[in-house]
Chain A
Amino acid sequence: MNLAEEKARLDTLLDQKKAELDITLKPKQVHRLLNEPLEENGPTGQKVLEQSKYYAACLAKLDDLPAKTPTTVYGITGRGGSGKSTLLDELTLRFFHDKRMKNRKVSILAVDPTSSRSGGALLADRIAYMYATDKTWVNTGRIFIRSVASRGYGGGIARALPDMVKILKAAGYDVFIESYGTGQPDTGITGLTDKSIIVITPDIGGAAQIAKEEMLGVPKVYIVLNKNELRGAKHVTSLLQGKVSNDRLFLTTAIQHNNSGVDRLYQSLTEGHA
């Protein structure tokens, strides 16, 4: 299908302005729509301009749509190697198995830093998504994954991210944004998300380091101490307990299958879902 045909098709769809857009927008179309904001600063010149004009029109229409399915946007941040991807993958598995969620779809936007030297991004997160990329689930159409390069945009966020979230929400997806860095309030992804998770590990350091973690001070942030089996976990736990309340603190070993800490985190995140 060429661009013009696809445009015509999407135009018709969007013109109907029907609330069932979340059903009619198939993963392939979401992919196409998501490509638009990504290509915005791409190298293809005139075509890009035309695409972004069209894309701006699409977005405007999405804004007018009443949301049929309420969706939730989750943000998950933490330093490299803290186990964000594994944790997110385990949460996704629980989502798949959760009977309350059987009519819902989930999407993952994984933001990777763009190397200032090579101009490329590793986009390696999906290697850790074992369940989220498992064909059994992919074939059900309930999972959508997209890697996003930050392209030098600060705060662990990509420029296109807000638009991408808008599109996914319109398509009826819950959204997980996985982002590198420590997720500083204001500049990071917190502005985009309904619920924020910060992942830290026992090697974070002593009391002074923990005091520097700005996210700990943000109300309602879910604090996850992952790799809870490692040495030093008890000490860090007691330091954290002095700073945040127990119902916001989760001790997990994401790498372990059926880990009870991850169970508790999942329950807490999805509380209130009928």
Chain B
Amino acid sequence: MLKMSLAEIADANENYNRSVEASVEKAKKDRACQNKLQQEWDEKLRSISSHRLPTGIDVPLIAVPRMDHPAQIARYRGEWGFPGEFPYGLSIYPRTFLIIDGKREHEEPTRIFAGLGSPEMTNERFHLIMRQQQSKRLSTAFDTNTLLGRSADNPDYFLDIGEGGVSVSTYQDILTLYDGFFSDDTSISMTINGPSLWMTAARFQAARERGQDLQKIRGTSQTDPCKEDDAQNELLFPLDKSIKLAMDMFEWCARNAPAYYPINISGYHIEQKGATPIQQAAFTLANGFVYIDAALQRGMNINSIGKRLPFFFTSGLEIEYIALLSAVRRIWAVALRDVYGADDLAAQKLKAHVQTSGRSLYEREIQNNITRTALELFHALLNYPQALHSNSYDEPITTPTEGAVRIASDAQAILFEEMGGFKDMMAHLSDGSGRMQIYHSVMKGVLDYFRQIDEFGGTLQAKADGFFRDEIARSSTLYDKQVHSGERRIIAINRYREGREENKDIPRVEISRDIKQKRSEDVKRFKSQRNPREVKEKILQLQNTARKDGNIFDITLQIVKDVTIDEWTRALQEVYGIYRRKI
């Protein structure tokens, strides 16, 4: 079956780079070519309309450089492309972030991550966030128990209930958690991997029951087992089985919930674990190609696959982030078009959610984190991502408090609505020489990694041999050394440290014993109200489907109302085994 090597993808990208150089050379000499380029350029410029800003000046909707020679045109188009044009160096859409005549063409990218304590508490927080943002986009953080497929009635993990995210164990919990948000225009994101099929099935089933049409349901779940293996370790089943499960849901959704994104290929955690920006880009793309190959092996069409694989990256303070997303977009687009043969433009366009870096935040002089986050947002915007999360400044010490979440959300609104620039003119800072330099450095770094990974015999083998984890660990150690030695300057940490006070009076979110106790009892009650024979029967159905290699998402959807997250996990672990953490 079709399986592409990373070396082929690196070759294709280098071929593309050479073709750009060749087109520039041709434009220097070839008269006909020059005329054609100039003609197209003039046409394009004529098609770009202007609008008047509140200060009274008129600006074009897209910033385009002045060209003194057709060779420059050839370079611009080959390297960047107009916004929305291959290779998508500037943007995958032509009008992202623009506000024209008081209206926004695209949905606002704001997507604030929240989750704490019980489903009731988190539901309340969701309603608060929705009052503060225009777009109807929610993002859910789950507690460790939930991420590991444990239910809240398990006494062994009582203290973890609701810490750092919401506790969800039963179908009833999902109904409570998303109460008020079962509507077609609400997009719900769920940051969950191991029990992702259970969680998504529960949401789908609840949506159906509340009259929603799955053909229109919007949202996403993370379901990225590859990056779990690299960074998080929160897998429930061995990696190959976890990829199979992800693919079961991926295939099911392509047919039955086409607007839903069941997988989010995530670099964020890889970077947070210690990877350099380039490692983040390289490993995450490599993981993405694993999913493409797995989906192709199931006979899915590359155009359908390409459209359904969004990414999730960090934006940090390092200079690489001024063009990192642009670089991965180009590599992805070239691979999809030239290696995999995706001719649908939508399949070539890498869609990305970006989150500011949690690793860059510090406890000391904690309000500096607001500045860090704002600057990271700015780095992100230079790359035109599709969705954004800004961290709350108090995250180093607590689950974000309400006030801090508001400031984080406002930071985005200030950039999008208050500050002149992104709302006024597409790509107004995007084709500069600094971004060009970084763009190429990142691409080269990524392709170098592709060749190294290929030498192991591909991504999965490189992972099995510990290459990804070892590389990340090496970078993490180096980072710490640099902070320690002062080579990497961190304000109020290793620079201007004198006279700084520790922040003692920051409010913290506490999940009380009472809340945990109530959670535990709620789940116990849910379990006791079921017919044990029926539950056992349904669990057996699930296990039989797993033994016969059937579609697990399909059967999960049928049983999710009765089978809790821990029962689902346990049942499948009996068949598939438990994921062995890598050391």
Contacting residues of chain A (55-82) with chain B, CB-CB under 8 angstroms: none
Question: With an 8 A cutoff between CB atoms, is A208 at the interface?
Answer: no
B520 to chain A, nearest CB (A): 16
Select which of B576, B577, B580 is within 8 A of A128 by beta carbon. B580
| Chain B residues whose CB sits within 8 angstroms of the CB of A124 once the complex forms | 583
Q: Which of A127, A131, A136, A257 is within 8 Å of B581, CB to CB?
A: A127
CB of B42 within 8 Å of the partner chain: no
Chain B residue nearest to A255 (CB atoms) is B580
Does A24 sit at the interface, judged by CB under 8 A? no
Cβ distance A179 to chain B, nearest Cβ, rounded Å: 18
C-alpha gap A223/B156 in the complex (Å): 38
Tell me the chain B residues, 527-583 only, with Cβ under 8 Å from chain A: 570, 576-581, 583
| SS of A interface (majority) | loop
Q: Which residues of chain A (134-149) have a CB below 8 Å from chain B?
A: 134-136, 139
- How many residue pairs at the A-B interface have CB separations less than 8 Å? 26
Are A86 and B580 in contact, with the CB atoms below 8 A? yes
Contacts of A86 in B (CB 8 A): 580
Check B84 for interface membership: any CB of A closer than 8 A: no
Contacts of A257 on B, CB cut-off 8 Å?
238, 576-578
Q: Is A41 an interface residue (CB 8 A)?
A: no
Q: What residues of chain A lie closer than 8 Å to B579, measured between beta carbons?
A: 130
Q: What is the bound-complex CA distance between A134 and B570, given in angstroms? A: 11
Q: Which residues of B contact A258 (CB under 8 A)?
A: 577
CB contact list, B16-59 vs A, under 8 A: none
State whether B583 touches A134 (Cβ < 8 A). Answer: no
Contact A134 B578 (CB under 8 A): yes
On chain B, the residues within 8 Å of A130 by CB distance are 578-581
Q: Smallest Cβ distance from B535 to chain A, in angstroms? A: 18
Is there contact, CB below 8 Å, between A127 and B583?
Answer: yes
Closest chain B residue to A254, Cβ basis:
B580
Which residues of B are found within 8 Å of A255, using beta-carbon distances? 238, 580
Shortest A255–chain B CB gap in Å is: 6
* Chain B stretch 230-246: residues in CB contact (< 8 A) with chain A: 238
Q: Mark B239-266, 1 if CB is under 8 A from A, else 0.
A: 0000000000000000000000000000
Count residues of A near B (Cβ-Cβ below 8 Å). 14
Residues of A contacting B581 with CB < 8 Å? 127-128, 130
Chain A residues closer than 8 Å to B238, beta-carbon distance: 255-257
Nearest Cβ on chain A to B570's Cβ, whole angstroms:
8
Q: Are B580 and A135 in contact (CB under 8 A)?
A: no
* B576 touching A135, Cβ below 8 Å: no
Give the interface centre of B238, B577, B580 by most chain A CB atoms within 10 Å.
B580
The A-contacting residues of B in range 317-372, CB under 8 angstroms, are none
Closest to B237 in A: A257
Q: Return chain A residues, CB-CB under 8 Å to B580.
A: 86, 128, 130, 255
**Which residues of A (204-255) have their CB < 8 Å from a CB of B?**
255
In angstroms, Cα B578 to Cα A127, docked, is 13
Contacts of B578 in A (CB 8 A): 130-131, 134, 257
Q: Which residues in B have their C-beta under 8 angstroms from that of A127?
A: 581, 583
The docked-state distance in angstroms from the alpha carbon of A3 to that of B105 is: 74
- Report the bound CA distance from A130 to B573 in whole Å: 12
In B146-185, which residues have CB < 8 Å from any A CB?
A: 154, 156
Complex-state Cα separation, A20 to B237, whole angstroms: 40
User: How far apart sit A228 and B570, CA to CA, in the bound complex (Å)?
Assistant: 28
Closest to A136 in B: B570
The smallest beta-carbon distance between A91 and chain B, in angstroms, is 14
A127–B156 CA distance with the chains assembled, in angstroms: 18
Look across to chain A and name the residue whose beta carbon is closest to the beta carbon of B154: A135
When chains A and B are docked, how far (Å) is the Cα of A143 from the Cα of B213? 50
Closest CB in chain B relative to A28 CB, distance in Å: 17
CB distance from A201 to the nearest CB of B (A): 13
Task: Please measure, in the bound complex, the distance between the C-alpha atom of A168 and the C-alpha atom of B114, giving whole angstroms.
Answer: 49
Residue of A nearest to B457 (CB): A231
Task: Give bound CA distance, A86 to B576, whole Å.
Answer: 16
Q: Given the interface contacts A134-B578, A258-B577, does A128 sit within 8 Å of B583 by beta carbon? A: yes
Which residue on B lies nearest to A124, using beta carbons? B583
Kindly state the separation between the CA atoms of A147 and B533 in the bound complex, as whole angstroms.
Answer: 42
* CB neighbours of A135 from chain B (8 A): 154, 156
Q: Using Cβ atoms and an 8 Å threshold, which residues of chain B touch A139? A: 156
Tell me the minimal C-beta distance from B158 to chain A in angstroms: 12
A256: B residues at CB distance < 8 A: 238, 577
B-contact 0/1 string along A244-274, CB 8 Å cutoff:
0000000000011110000000000000000
Kindly list chain A residues whose C-beta atoms are within 8 Å of the C-beta of B156: 135, 139
Q: How far is the CA of A58 from the CA of B580 in the complex (A)?
A: 39
Residues of A contacting B154 with CB < 8 Å? 135
Bound together, the chains give a CA A257 to CA B581 distance in angstroms of: 14
Interface centre among A128, A131, A134, A257 (most CB of B within 10 A): A257
Instruction: Say how far A10's CB is from chain B's closest CB, in angstroms.
Output: 28
CB A98 to nearest CB in B, in angstroms, measures 15
Question: A115 to nearest B CB, angstroms?
Answer: 17
Chain B nearest CB from A236 CB (Å) reads 19
| Bound CA span A134–B576, Å | 16
Interchain CA distance A130-B156 in the complex, whole Å: 16
Q: How far is the CB of B233 from chain A (nearest CB, A)?
A: 10
The residue of chain B having its C-beta at the shortest distance from the C-beta of A125 within the complex is B583
A135 to B583, CA, bound (A): 21
Minimum C-beta distance from B182 to chain A (A): 35
A136 surroundings in chain B (CB, below 8 A): 570
Complex Cα distance, B239 from A255, in Å, reads: 11
User: In the assembled complex, how far is the CB of residue B81 from the closest CB belonging to chain A, in whole angstroms?
Assistant: 44
Q: How many Å lie between the Cα of A127 and that of B233 in the bound state?
A: 12
Q: Write the nearest CB–CB distance from A112 to chain B, whole angstroms.
A: 13
Most buried by A among B154, B238, B570, B577: B577
Please report the C-alpha to C-alpha distance between residue A255 and residue B583 in the assembled complex, in whole angstroms. Answer: 14
> Closest CB of chain B to A259's CB: distance in Å?
9
Q: Using an 8 Å CB-CB cutoff, how does the interface string of A109-139 with B read, 1 for contact, 0 for none?
A: 0000000000000001001101100111001
Tell me the residues in window 170-220 of chain B with beta carbons closer than 8 Å to chain A beta carbons: none
How far is it, in angstroms, between the C-alpha of A139 and the C-alpha of B155 when the chains are bound? Answer: 11
C-alpha spacing A127/B579, complex, angstroms: 12
Q: How far is the CB of B155 from chain A (nearest CB, A)?
A: 9
Which residue on B lies nearest to A90, using beta carbons? B577
Nearest Cβ on chain B to A106's Cβ, whole angstroms: 18
Give the Cβ gap from B44 to chain A, nearest Cβ, in Å: 55
Residue of B nearest to A229 (CB): B464
A271 to B578, CA, bound (A): 27
User: Which 9 pairs from chain A and chain B are nearest by CB?
Assistant: A257-B577, A130-B578, A135-B156, A127-B583, A130-B580, A124-B583, A257-B576, A257-B238, A127-B581
Known: A86-B580, A130-B581, A258-B577. 10 other contacts (CB 8 A): A124-B583, A128-B580, A128-B583, A130-B578, A130-B579, A131-B578, A134-B578, A136-B570, A256-B238, A257-B576
A residues near B, CB below 8 A?
86, 124, 127-128, 130-131, 134-136, 139, 255-258
- A sample of 17 cross-chain residue pairs with beta-carbon separation below 8 angstroms, ordered by A number, consists of A124-B583, A128-B580, A128-B581, A130-B579, A130-B580, A131-B578, A134-B578, A135-B154, A135-B156, A139-B156, A255-B238, A256-B238, A256-B577, A257-B576, A257-B577, A257-B578, A258-B577
